[in-house]
A and B are shown apart, each in its own frame.
Chain A
Amino acid sequence: MKLKNGDKEYGAGSNQNWLERLSKSNDFVHEHTSLRDDEPFWISYYRTLVSSDILHKDVLPYLQEKLPLEELKSRIPVQEIIFTRDADEIIQNILNGSLAIQKHQYDDECLLINIANSKFRDVGMATMESSTLGPQVGFIEELDTNINLVRKRLPVPELLVKEMKVGELSKTRVAVLYMDGIADPENVNTVIQRIKDIQYDHIQDSSYIASMIEDNSNSLFPQSISTERADRVAAGLTEGKIIIASDGSPNLVILPVTLMESFIAMEDYSYSWIISNFFRLLRFAAMFISTMITPMYVAIMTYHYELIPARLLETLVGSRAAVPFAPFLEALFLELMIEMVKEAGIRLPLKIGQSLGVVGGIVIGQAVVEAGLTSNVLLILVGLGSLASYTSPVYKFSNTIRFIKFPVIFLAQWFGLLGVFLAFLITQIHLLRLTSLGRPYLSQYPIRNTSFQDLWVRLPFSMQKENPKTLRPQKKWKSTGTGKKTGPANDFYE
């Protein structure tokens, strides 16, 4: 581990007297189990980390027998027991909730028994990516439970988990999951190497890692998908994607991804393919509506009045007649207001937040229009735009859409319609330049026949035959069936 000059190395100590270092903290317990000082044993642990239940039931009774440490190891009915002399390892394990047992107070060898008390919430419903049909379960903050949820869906030995510790202070357990034989080994190596290269004090969430290993961290577009749905993760794994899970984070990161995947909801697979295509394209169209509609309004109202049909003129101009601001300011004002309402709705406690949505949306909007500060047509457009921005099933992406319209509004003010399409042009170039783990991010290009099986559109399962080629999967076929169904046909086909 490389350290910056002058920085003290945290966490692990190289000196032998680990006891001294740990006992500075008041919740550290260092006790003797028998009456005489020269008799075994000495136990040390963090009171706040261990489960006293296990300690008293499963460990302490065995210590009365005063056996050698090696024998204790086989006796005590706890799974994780290590016998070591390494001070670093001892400190690490005690900090993770282990109990250290020494024969004498200043002995080097030490038995580490993991009796950590892990209190996490139960596995519950996915809240951010909820769906009406399909599996409801969502990940929680504990890594092992999350991996357990994934393993249950893919009970094959090819599902590999590679664990690492990241974060100089947080020592977060980070797991990389992939399917051996499907995922491109080059991608796996890249991900593992990039995670190993991370040098940062603390990792609180998997998104930290996602944004640290992204190809282009300056981009507005998320080059990975954070999900709390086990089915999404499992489906991604089978296609050759790589999953990053981190302890303490209910979101798993899927890599590499393409832009279009941000419009795919797992629910799509629960409907008829025709209906799910309709919804998928609807979400795609909603992105354009959300980012373009207010800038278009600004451009047309400011420069290109010729574009307005005679029948719409009265509605559009009439509603603006008394507004004292330029369309640009009007739009900016309203957009910012809506964004503020949304933001406050998220930050406030749940119960207040709900009522705020109603208050913000209806009361303020109505009042603003009545006061003549904005036109009611714009209010409709902005409302429509903000509604449309939430149709993306990927929350990070809908935030991108929310943000991206502001620069476009500015460009529309400067160059009119030309500015709107300039923004379009620059975004397209940007998306083309973006890569996710070295794979092109924009799924429209280059054209792949697999994109028409399950990306742009979702064909019936019988026609989704190949794994997406952009990922360079080692397993080509997803399905080798013919799609023929057994069972009685009608008289016509007999």
Chain B
Amino acid sequence: MQANIRHQVSPYLVFFIIYNSQVGVGILSFQRTIAAKAGYDAWIGVLVAGCLVQAFIWVMYKLLGKTNGDIIDVHTTIFGNGLGKFLSFFIMIYYWLASISVLIGFIEIIQVWMFPTMPSWILSTIILLSVYYCVSGGFRVIVGMSFLSFIFPQILLIVLFIFPLKIAHFSNLLPIMSHSFMDLADSIKSSMYSIAGTEALLMYYPFIRDPKASKKFAHLGVLFTTILYTISAIVSFTFYSENQLKTTLWPELSLTKTVTLSFLERFEYLYISMYLIIISVLIALFLWCSSRGLKRIFNRKQKYTLLLLCLLSIILCQFNGSFKDMLNKYIIQMNLWIFYGYIPILLLVLTFLKRGKQNDE
């Protein structure tokens, strides 16, 4: 089902959507998790993960190009209406859980760094209110916000890497490839989750004006984020000694403690506050995907599905600690199995099905 042309966006904007969907709270803390086993070789893992995501993009474009609709259309063509919608439901739940994981991660950062006593529900409410406002403006507004959040603050935050680079110890990265393949595989696995997010394409594909032309921008977007993540990993690795990194929960935020300007002593408070914009847009994108999917599955207005999801999110954000770890664990598993296992299989099935049909004719 192709969306109304008035709601569609230009192909080049896919670059920004992809960038936006991949950059979230993960980039503030992934340096530590990927280095857990692979040590300072882990940046190679990020690059490899980036290549895998490129392949995944290719798979998604192939799959969606065949039905020219979103994942629900793919499911219904293969499995029929009932089962197709049932399977799509799980993917919508994944989108929703992913948005909650981002939200909880950000709330935790704010509580640790800025306001230790601020109740979670206030934060989740204000963020979700702005998210609701954004999503209710339609897909174009979300894309616009992706674009604007790239201009400000993302570009500014990239420029900040200059400060830690002044005292970087590049020799930290030596010797390259001193870890076993299994360790590297572990770093690939953990960076896979950090740079996950491209799967939102499965929902917004019909909203791209010229999907074929947008493909190259999607690949460019992934390339950009891969480089961003790799640079971020390398900057952290050269800034911290290995054991120090292992004790640091948010390496990227601690990095910005070294940013000092003559009128501003510390930057991380600004950094976190600016990150609110990036986070909100990411959540908006995922909640848009989820609520639109649910709207199509249950034939309800998107307004109601979105409201429901927001309310449930606020409730779930009240659970801290172990819930967060559990959620993250499940999402990592879901992400890996659904998108890197299930979707390629789906592509194979669809290809055979179409070929079968052609043969019948």
- Residue ranges of A at the interface with B (Cβ–Cβ < 8 Å): 303-304, 306-312, 415-418, 420-422, 424-426, 428-430, 432-433, 440, 442, 444-447
Contact = CB atoms under 8 A, between A and B. Distances in A.
Contact of B133 (A311, A415, A421, A426): A426
Given A425-B130, A446-B10, A307 B276 contact: no
Most chain B CB neighbours (cut-off 10 Å) among A304, A309, A415, A429: A429
B273 A310 contact: no
Interface stretch (B64-72, B180-188, B262-270, B350-358): B262-270
B40 interface: no
Interface string B254-290: 0000001011111001101110110010000000000
A421 B276 contact: yes
Nearest to B153: A421
Interface of B: 9-10, 13, 110, 114-115, 126, 130, 133-134, 137, 140-141, 144-145, 147-148, 151, 260, 262-266, 269-270, 272-274, 276-277, 280
B269 A304 contact: yes
A418 B145 contact: no
B270 A417 contact: yes
Contacts of A425: 130, 276-277, 280
Contacts of B262: 309, 311
A309 B267 CA distance: 11
A332 to B, nearest CB: 21
Contacts of A433: 133, 137, 141
B358 to A, nearest CB: 39
Nearest to A442: B144
A202 B145 CA distance: 40
A426 B273 contact: no
B269 A415 contact: no
Given A307-B269, A432-B137, A433-B137, A418 B114 contact: yes
A306 B266 CA distance: 7
A424 B125 CA distance: 17
B276 A418 contact: yes
A429 B151 CA distance: 14
Nearest to B151: A444
B276 A444 contact: no
B61 to A, nearest CB: 22
A304 to B, nearest CB: 5
Contact of A445 (B114, B148, B272): B148
9 contacts: A306-B269, A307-B265, A307-B266, A415-B115, A415-B126, A417-B269, A421-B276, A428-B148, A429-B141
Contact of B277 (A415, A424, A440, A442): A424
A429 B266 contact: no
A304 B272 CA distance: 12
Nearest to A430: B133
A442 B152 CA distance: 15
B145 A422 contact: no
A418 B110 CA distance: 9
A307 B137 contact: no
A445 B147 contact: yes
Nearest to A426: B130
Given A306-B266, A429-B130, A432-B137, A444 B277 contact: no
A417 B273 contact: yes
**Does more than half of chain A's interface fall in helix, strand or loop, or is it mixed?**
helix
Contact of A308 (B133, B137, B265, B272): B265
Given A418-B273, A421-B277, A447-B147, 4 more contacts: A309-B264, A416-B114, A432-B148, A445-B147
B179 to A, nearest CB: 38
B268 to A, nearest CB: 9
A306 B265 contact: yes
Most chain B CB neighbours (cut-off 10 Å) among A310, A432, A446: A432
B10 A428 contact: no
A422 B276 contact: yes
B263 A309 contact: yes
Contacts of A309: 260, 262-265
Given A309-B265, A429-B134, A433-B141, A421 B148 contact: no
B107 to A, nearest CB: 11
Contacts of B280: 425
Contacts of B272: 417-418
Contacts of B137: 429, 432-433
A407 B7 CA distance: 31
B262 to A, nearest CB: 7
A442 B273 CA distance: 23
B35 to A, nearest CB: 28
Contacts of A304: 114, 269
Given A309-B264, A418-B110, A446 B277 contact: no
B74 to A, nearest CB: 29
Contacts of B133: 426, 429-430, 433
Nearest to B271: A417
A421 B144 contact: no
B361 to A, nearest CB: 42
Contacts of B140: 432
Contacts of B147: 444-447
Nearest to A446: B10
A444 B141 CA distance: 12
Given A418-B114, A421-B274, A446-B10, A310 B265 contact: yes
B39 to A, nearest CB: 33
Nearest to A310: B265
A250 B151 CA distance: 40
B276 to A, nearest CB: 5
A452 B330 CA distance: 47
A421 B265 contact: no
Given A309-B262, A416-B114, A446 B145 contact: no
A443 to B, nearest CB: 11
Contacts of B13: 446
Most chain A CB neighbours (cut-off 10 Å) among B10, B260, B266, B273: B273
